[in-house]
């Protein structure tokens, strides 16, 4: 699923998005830590991001 706007799009993450998410989390780590709970170091790894995406996809599938 993907929703398009004039300057943004929203989509359900896939495992292929893990590298981009890792980059986003690493570049903005200090800012995000101001507003989110402390993250385990494994969160800031490619495997950690893949696992998180898969977990959310499984949760989404259970809702259907």
The pLDDT confidence band at residue 3, using thresholds 50, 70 and 90, is confident
* pLDDT tops 80 at residue 1: no
Instruction: State the greatest distance between any 2 C-alpha atoms of the chain, in Å, as a whole number.
Output: 36
What's the pLDDT tens digit per position in 13-59?
Answer: 999 999 999 999 999 999 999 999 999 999 999 999 999 999 999 99
Q: What is the pLDDT of residue 9?
A: 85
Structure tokens belonging to residue 13: 């993450």
Q: What is the pLDDT of residue 64?
A: 59
CA 44 vs. chain centroid, Å, equals 11
């Amino acid at each position: 699923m993907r929703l398009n706007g004039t300057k943004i799009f929203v989509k359900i993450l896939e495992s292929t998005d893990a590298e981009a998410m890792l980059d986003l989390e690493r570049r903005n780590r200090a800012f995000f830590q101001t507003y989110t709970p402390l993250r385990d170091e494994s969160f800031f790894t490619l495997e950690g991001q893949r696992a998180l995406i898969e977990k959310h996809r499984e949760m989404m599938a259970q809702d259907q």
